Structure 1
Amino acid sequence: MFRRLLAPLVVIALLAGCASTPPAAEVVAEDSPAIELVDLWRVTGAEGESADTWLRLDAGEFQLWRDCGMIQGSWRASNGLMLASVFGASGGCGTDTAPTADWLESVEGYVQTSDGFQLVDAAGSPVATLTIDGAPDPIPDAADFYAEAPEVTDETRAYFAQAKPLPGSLTPGSLEGQWAAEGVDASLGAGVDFAADGTWTGSDGCNGGSGRWAADASGGFLATSGVSTLMACEGALVPSWVAQAQLAGFDGDVLVLLDSDGVELGRLVTG
Structure 2
Amino acid sequence: MRLIAVPVLLVVLLAGCADRAGPIVDAVPAQAADPVALIGNWLVIGADEEEGTVLRLAGPSQVSDLSLWRSCGQLGGGWRADGAGMFLADVPSPTLCARNTVPSPSWLDRVTAYRLDGADRELLDAGGAVVARLVPATEPIPVNPKLYLPDAAKPPVVTDEDRQGLRPGAPLPAGLTPATAETLVGRWVADAGVHQQVEPHVELNADSTWSGSDGCNPSRGRWIAGSGGTLLATIRPSTNIGCDNHPAGGWLFDARLAAIDGDQLVFFDAAAEELGRLHRG
TM-score by length of 1: 0.81
Q: Which amino acid aligns with 2:88?
A: L
Give the secondary-structure state (helix, strand or coil) at the position aligned to 1:242: helix
Q: Select the residue among 162, 165, 168 that pairs with 1:162.
A: 168
Q: Select the residue among 144, 148, 153 that pairs with 1:139.
A: 144
| Residues 84-142 of structure 1: CA deviation (Å, up to 9, x unaligned) | 2225688x748674751211233222122233111122343321111114332233222
CA distance 1:98–1:232, change in 2 (3 Å): farther
Give the secondary-structure state (helix, strand or coil) at the position aligned to 1:72: strand
**How far apart, in 1, do the equivalents of 2:177 and 2:221 lie?**
24
Q: What are the within-5 Å matches in structure 2 for residues 162-241 of structure 1?
A: 162-173=168-179, 174-181=183-190, 183-184=191-192, 188-234=198-244, 236-241=246-251
CA distance 1:95–1:119, change in 2 (3 Å): farther
CA distance 1:208–1:125, change in 2 (3 Å): same
Structure 1 residue 151 displacement after superposition: 1.2
Give the secondary-structure state (helix, strand or coil) at the position aligned to 1:158: helix
**How far apart, in 1, do the equivalents of 2:278 and 2:102 lie?**
33
| Residues 15-36 of structure 1: CA deviation (Å, up to 9, x unaligned) | xxxxxxxxxxxxxxxxxx1110
CA distance 1:219–1:234, change in 2 (3 Å): same
Aligned twin of 1:86: 91
Unaligned runs of 5+ in 1: 13-32
Aligned twin of 2:59: 59
CA contact (8 A) 2:28 2:128 kept: no
Aligned twin of 2:78: 74
Structure 1 residue 187 displacement after superposition: 9.2
Q: Which amino acid aligns with 2:55?
A: L
Give the secondary-structure state (helix, strand or coil) at the position aligned to 1:137: coil
Percent of paired sites with the same residue: 38
Structure 1 residue 199 displacement after superposition: 0.3
Number of equivalences: 248
Is residue 244 from structure 1 mapped to residue 248 from structure 2 by the alignment? no
CA contact (8 A) 1:2 1:108 kept: no
Structure 1 residue 264 displacement after superposition: 1.6
CA contact (8 A) 2:256 2:270 kept: yes
Give the secondary-structure state (helix, strand or coil) at the position aligned to 1:218: helix
| Residues 156-183 of structure 1: CA deviation (Å, up to 9, x unaligned) | 21221222211113221231112112x4
Unaligned runs of 5+ in 2: 1-21
CA contact (8 A) 1:169 1:251 kept: no
Give the secondary-structure state (helix, strand or coil) at the position aligned to 2:189: strand
- Over the aligned positions, Cα root-mean-square deviation in angstroms equals 2.7
CA contact (8 A) 1:245 1:260 kept: yes
Structure 1 residue 222 displacement after superposition: 0.9
Q: Select the residue among 253, 276, 279 that pairs with 1:269.
A: 279
Structure 1 residue 62 displacement after superposition: 1.5
